[in-house]
Amino acid sequence: MSIRLQHIGKHFGRTQALEPVDLDIAEGELVGLLGPSGSGKTTLLRIIAGLETADREPGGRILFGDRDVTHLHVRDRRIGFVFQHYALFRHMTVFDNVAFGLTVLPRKQRPSSGEIRRRVHRLLEMVKLEHMAQRYPAQLSGGQQQRVSLARALALRPDVLLLDEPFGALDAKVRQELRRWLRHLHDELHFTSLFVTHDQEEALELSDRVVVMSNGRIEQIDTPHELYRHPANRFVFEFLGDVNHLEGTVRDGVLTCGNAHLAVDLTDGPEELLLRPHEIELAERPRHGAQLPVTVTAISPVGAEVRVELEADWLGEPWLATVSHADYERLALTRGAGLYVLPRRWHRFPAERDRLPSRTAESVS
């Protein structure tokens, strides 16, 4: 079931929580709403669900396929909703929690008891909890409870599945496992779903497309790859990962910041460059066109890459670099070591009249 939003906005009193937005979600697509607190992502999700009413904007409509649900009550929209905090019935078994929505349907719509049993057992198999059907929520881990919550949402065979920070209450390892599991389940069942998160990694890993939001408006809609490689503006760039800032003044093709300088192909004047941690190289000596001395202040060798924190008199805030374990050993990195930064690539987001999103550090060689 596709979803189409046309000119949907929301005010709470005099505060505009959501500027009028347009959004199309294709049938079977898994879309993430990503943004900081107060960006409007949960408000948008609740409007789609029918838990909030959109402003009466001219032409404002919510369509599920060809069905206009703009003014339908939440119970008539045929949506499944998964909350952050599970919302399971503590006095009911896992089986009864999943079956609950089916058992309270009007008699004419309610499946037979045998059909309910078959459907619930099938869902518990999908979420890998069939052996826990007679347990109570208190006997389950957080990750298992969230899977029960998802099975309950799917039991009514909704047209649309909505998830509000579904893994927010779980620890990092369980979150990662459930992300993979949800992606596999989505690919198997091909339901249309929309989920809210403030976790960039979660959005980029799970989504077919990501909607980045800020201050009640949509900043960019794109695939995870395009979003990360080609951010539409500075907000998107900075929100999607760690960023190092290099501020200085350009004169005759050289950006100077304290005792540091970098050759750049830019016009004279004040300038700020942005660099991702993986876009800088660490070396024992400077190179032509790049004199950026730093001191190592912290090292974290855990994971696929080594995270290195750097400080210098010319830096306003510490920088972060990520290097391979091979480079970590080759450079014999220790706290207090003096090194040089060699930018591989940098980005800038000037005024629209002078937009030049990113450049390769061609002069560093």
Residue 351: what pLDDT? 62
The partner residues of 274 in beta bridges, in order of sequence, read 245, 347
- pLDDT higher than 60, residue 358: no
Buried b (16+ CB within 10 A) or exposed e, 28-51: ebbbbbbbeeebbbbbbbbbbbbb
Mean pLDDT, range 166-190, rounded to an integer: 79
Alpha-carbon distance of 31 to 11, in angstroms, equals: 24
Query: Which one, of 55, 45, 50, 51, lies nearest residue 71 by Cα?
Result: 50
Instruction: Say if CB 355 and CB 345 are below 8 A apart.
Output: no
Alpha-carbon distance of 264 to 81, in angstroms, equals: 51
Q: What is the pLDDT of residues 22-60, one digit of tens each?
A: 999 999 999 999 999 889 999 999 999 999 999 988 889
- pLDDT higher than 70, residue 163: yes
HEC profile of 233-291: CHHHHHHCCCCEEEEEEEECCEEEECCEEEECCCCCEEEEEEECHHHEEEECCCECCEE
**How is the chain split into domains, by residue range?**
3-239, 244-360
Q: What is the pLDDT of residues 88-113, one digit of tens each?
A: 889 999 999 999 988 888 888 888 99
Q: How far is CA 152 from CA 54, 85, 89, 139, 227, in A?
A: 27, 14, 11, 17, 33
For residue 32 the two structure tokens come to 């993430």
Fold category of 3-239 in CATH: Rossmann fold (3.40.50)
Q: What is the pLDDT of residues 282-311, one digit of tens each?
A: 999 998 889 999 999 999 998 889 999 999
Alpha-carbon distance of 331 to 310, in angstroms, equals: 14
CATH class of the structural domain 244-360: mainly beta
Residue 349: what pLDDT? 87
- pLDDT higher than 70, residue 361: no
- pLDDT higher than 50, residue 279: yes
* Count of Cβ atoms closer than 10 Å to residue 127 Cβ: 22
Q: What is the pLDDT of residues 186-202, one digit of tens each?
A: 888 788 999 998 888 88
Residue 293: what pLDDT? 95
Gyration radius of the chain over CA positions: 25
- pLDDT higher than 90, residue 273: yes
Q: What is the pLDDT of residues 125-135, one digit of tens each?
A: 888 888 999 99
- pLDDT higher than 70, residue 359: no
For residue 352 the two structure tokens come to 């629209």
Query: Which one, of 356, 36, 60, lies nearest residue 217 by Cα?
Result: 36
Residue 169: what pLDDT? 65
Q: What is the share, in percent, of the chain residues with pLDDT greater than 70?
A: 95
- Across the chain, mean pLDDT equals 88
pLDDT tier at 353, thresholds 50, 70, 90: very low
